């Protein structure tokens, strides 16, 4: 990685980046291919990531986290994803989609009860917004939460829940007032073993196969009214605010995948010979290397800028939706470009499961889809540019 003239990393940043790199390369990289093949959730290494503070990097220590800043989070996540993007999304969802929302909108009691076990890595958290018939049009949900005395009763079917099969805690978004559309959505916190909550089928996936993804089915799930996160009707705003942070995490994931694929391609281009010279000496390969490197560094700049803007928002309160969307859009398209080029440079070996390059290629694709497709990122960016929202 180049030293970036416009971002200076503190000793603390370098320490967490190096700790994440050491751990990822020594403990995750060697098992990534096997986990990709089996699709088994990496319980042991996720627990170790918790012990190292990676599951709640920005969460204050009083709630079980590491108490570091957004750049520290991004640097650590990028390193984990260079080794394995499946571990990366488990870490990203835990930090961004789960802990962040409770930290920002939760009461003191909610923070203690719902953040502490998850930020400390003793338990896994999930975020449940999408439904079988509503993905990009997130407010068009069918799930309903009805107030009944001191409780809410939750009914509906949620899909594509990262860590759904294993999470102990869930933040779920349901309609409390359908007539109000976006302003009728509310957010609830609950333990996954609450009666009536059933984990549905585990999705068989193209990539990030060791991360577990499933439906969650809510059949008259009763939660106390104190589990409402924020105010009734505030759920859509909470879901979107949290996704801004999540998108920074996915940009870091995409960058990590791209870096891993790039490094493999760079080395191969220097070693593999054809027609009497290393293939990197042919302009067709050399120019690919140049474009891969340039796009990676541009993605990094957008990502770190979004991270710094998010950090600043802790005091200024300003939104960073556009910066997060640009970072995710560019980093995910870079991950696709770079993994595609890396596979091509490797030729037949790139297509073989003997090397991790085909896994990087499969893992990259999801970064253009989840936490808002590239089309949704373009919508967010253009609406702001055109003053449409």
Q: What DSSP designation does 387 have?
A: T
Asked whether the beta carbons of 162 and 126 are under 8 A apart, the reply is yes
* Cβ 171 to ligand CAA shortest distance, Å: 11
* Cβ 169 to ligand CAA shortest distance, Å: 14
Q: What DSSP designation does 71 have?
A: H
Residue 56 or 101: the one with the smaller Cβ distance to ligand CAA is: 101
Residue 72 or 129: the one with the smaller Cβ distance to ligand CAA is: 129
Report the distance separating Cα 81 and Cα 88, nearest Å: 5
User: Which of 183, 68, 170, 177 lies closest to 124, judged by CA?
Assistant: 170
Q: Give the DSSP letter string of 34-69.
A: HHHHH----HHHHHHHHHTTGGGTTS-GGGTS----
| Site residues for ligand CAA per CB under 6 A | 93, 127, 129-130, 136, 138-139, 160-162, 182, 236-237, 240-241, 243-244, 319, 321, 370-372, 376, 379-380, 389
Distance (Å) of CA 251 to CA 259, 283, 307: 12, 30, 10
Report the distance separating Cα 83 and Cα 87, nearest Å: 8
Q: Indicate the pairing of strand 197-202 with strand 213-224.
A: antiparallel
* Cβ 63 to ligand CAA shortest distance, Å: 22
Residue 88 or 372: the one with the smaller Cβ distance to ligand CAA is: 372
Asked whether the beta carbons of 152 and 188 are under 8 A apart, the reply is yes
Asked whether the beta carbons of 325 and 380 are under 8 A apart, the reply is yes
User: Residue 371 catalytic?
Assistant: yes
* Cβ 247 to ligand CAA shortest distance, Å: 8
Residue 45 or 213: the one with the smaller Cβ distance to ligand CAA is: 213
Distance (Å) of CA 62 to CA 27, 40, 242: 28, 32, 21
Residue 73 or 268: the one with the smaller Cβ distance to ligand CAA is: 73
* Cβ 147 to ligand CAA shortest distance, Å: 22
Residue 63 or 127: the one with the smaller Cβ distance to ligand CAA is: 127
Asked whether the beta carbons of 161 and 214 are under 8 A apart, the reply is yes
Map 72-84 to HEC letters. Answer: HHHHHHHHHHHHC
* Cβ 223 to ligand CAA shortest distance, Å: 20
Which residue, chain included where needed, has tokens 């440079």?
A: 345
Catalytic residue (choose from 203, 259, 368, 371): 371
Q: What residues act catalytically? A: 371
């Amino acid at each position: 990685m180049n030293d970036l003239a416009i971002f200076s990393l503190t000793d603390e940043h370098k320490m967490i980046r190096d700790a994440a790199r050491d751990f990822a390369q020594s403990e995750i990289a060697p098992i990534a291919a096997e986990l990709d093949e089996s699709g088994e959730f990496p319980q042991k290494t996720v627990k170790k990531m918790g012990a190292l503070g990676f599951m709640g990097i920005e969460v204050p220590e009083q709630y079980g986290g590491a108490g570091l800043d957004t750049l520290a989070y991004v640097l650590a996540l990028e390193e984990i994803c260079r080794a394995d993007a499946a571990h990366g999304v488990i870490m990203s969802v835990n930090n961004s989609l789960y802990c962040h929302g409770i930290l920002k909108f939760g009461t003191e009691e909610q923070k203690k009860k719902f953040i502490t076990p998850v930020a400390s890595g003793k338990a896994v958290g999930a975020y449940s917004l999408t439904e079988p018939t509503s993905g990009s049009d997130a407010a068009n949900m069918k799930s309903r939460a009805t107030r009944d005395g001191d409780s809410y009763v939750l009914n509906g079917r949620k899909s594509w829940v990262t860590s759904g099969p294993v999470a102990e805690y869930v933040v779920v978004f349901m309609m409390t007032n359908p007539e109000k559309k976006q302003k009728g959505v509310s957010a609830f916190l609950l333990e996954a073993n609450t009666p009536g909550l059933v984990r549905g089928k585990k999705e068989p996936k193209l990539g990030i196969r060791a991360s577990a993804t499933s439906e969650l089915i809510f059949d008259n799930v009763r939660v106390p009214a104190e589990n409402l996160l924020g105010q009734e009707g505030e759920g859509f705003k909470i879901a979107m605010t949290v996704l801004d942070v999540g998108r920074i995490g996915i940009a870091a994931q995409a960058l990590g995948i791209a870096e891993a694929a790039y490094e493999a391609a760079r080395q191969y281009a220097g070693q593999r010979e054809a027609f009497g010279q290393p293939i990197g000496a042919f302009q067709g390969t050399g120019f690919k290397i140049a474009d891969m490197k340039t796009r990676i560094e541009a993605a990094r700049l957008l990502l770190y800028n979004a991270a710094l803007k998010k950090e600043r928002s802790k005091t200024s309160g300003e939104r960073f939706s556009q910066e997060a969307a640009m970072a995710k859009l560019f980093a995910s398209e870079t991950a696709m470009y770079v993994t595609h080029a890396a596979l091509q440079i490797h030729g037949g070996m790139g297509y073989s499961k003997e090397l991790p390059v085909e896994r990087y290629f499969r893992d990259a694709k999801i970064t253009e889809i989840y936490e808002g497709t590239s089309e949704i990122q373009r919508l967010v960016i253009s609406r702001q540019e055109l003053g449409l929202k």
